[in-house]
Chains A and B, each alone.
Chain A
Amino acid sequence: MANVTLVLGALTCPSCLKKIKGALVKTKGVQDVRVLFNAGKAKIKYDSQVVTPEELSDIVKKLGYEVKQVQIQSEVG
Chain B
Amino acid sequence: MHITMFYHKYNQQILWFTGILTGLGLILSHNNLLGSISAVLLIISGVIGAIPVITRALSALRYKTISIELLVTIAVIGAFVVQAYHEAAIVTFLFLLGDFLQAKTLTKTRRAIQQLSDLAPTTARVKAADGQLISVPIDQLKPGTIVAVSAGDQIPVDGKVTKGQGYATEAAITGEANYISKAVGSSVYAGTLLKDGLLEIETQVVGAESTFGKIIDLVESAQDNQSATGDFIDHFAKYYTPAVLILGIIVFLWTGNLNLAITLLVLGCPGALVIGAPVALVAGIGSAAKQGILIKGGSVTAQLAKTDTLIFDKTGTLTKGQPAVVKAITYHEPDITLLKTIYNVERHSNHPLSQAVGNYLQKQYQLATKLTGDPQVEAIPGAGLAIENNTILVGSERLLQRYNVTITPQQQANIQALSAAGHTLVLIASQGQLILALGINDQLRPEVPETLDQLRHLGIKHLVMLTGDHQASAEAMATGLDLDEVHGDLLPQDKLTWLKQYQQAGHVVAFVGDGINDSPALAQADVGIAMGNGAAVALETADMTLLQSSFTSLGRAVALSRRIHANTVQNISIAVITVAVLLSGLLFGLVDMGIGMFVHEASILIVIANASRLLRIKKASTQAASVSKVTQNNDLGGI
- Please report A residues at the B interface, Cβ cutoff 8 Å: 3, 5, 9-10, 12-15, 18-19, 22, 34, 36-41, 62, 64-66, 71-74
Contact = CB atoms under 8 A, between A and B. Distances in A.
A38 B63 contact: no
Contact of A64 (B5, B60, B209): B5
Contacts of A15: 56, 59-60, 63, 65, 67
Nearest to B220: A39
Contacts, number: 72
Contacts of B142: 74
23 contacts: A10-B103, A10-B110, A12-B102, A12-B106, A13-B69, A14-B65, A14-B274, A15-B63, A15-B65, A18-B65, A19-B63, A36-B224, A37-B223, A37-B224, A39-B113, A39-B224, A40-B110, A41-B220, A64-B2, A72-B139, A73-B207, A73-B208, A73-B209
B208 A5 contact: yes
Given A64-B4, A66-B8, A73-B207, A38 B65 contact: no
Contact of A13 (B56, B110, B207): B56
A23 to B, nearest CB: 10
B103 A12 contact: yes
B159 interface: no
A74 B282 CA distance: 29
A13, A38, A72, most chain B CB atoms within 10 A: A38
B60 A71 contact: no
A69 B172 CA distance: 22
Given A38-B220, A39-B117, A64-B4, A13 B208 contact: no
B223 A38 contact: yes
B206 A74 contact: yes
Given A12-B99, A15-B63, A19-B63, A36 B8 contact: no
Nearest to A43: B217
B166 to A, nearest CB: 28
A49 to B, nearest CB: 19
Given A15-B56, A64-B3, A66-B8, 8 more contacts: A10-B110, A15-B60, A19-B63, A22-B63, A37-B223, A39-B117, A65-B5, A73-B209
B46 interface: no
Contacts of B221: 34, 36
Interface in B87-107: 99, 102-103, 106-107
B278 interface: yes
Contacts of B139: 71-74
Interface residues of B, number: 34
Interface string B266-299: 0000000010001000100000000000000000
Nearest to B122: A71
The 3 closest A-B pairs by CB, nearest first: A64-B4, A39-B220, A15-B60
A50 to B, nearest CB: 20
A13 B60 contact: yes
Nearest to A40: B110
A64 B80 CA distance: 28
Interface in B44-61: 56, 59-60
Nearest to B3: A64
B6 to A, nearest CB: 9
Contacts of B103: 10, 12
A13 B113 CA distance: 19
A39 B281 CA distance: 13
Contacts of A62: 2
B129 to A, nearest CB: 22
Interface string B373-404: 00000000000000000000000000000000
Contacts of A72: 139
A63 to B, nearest CB: 8
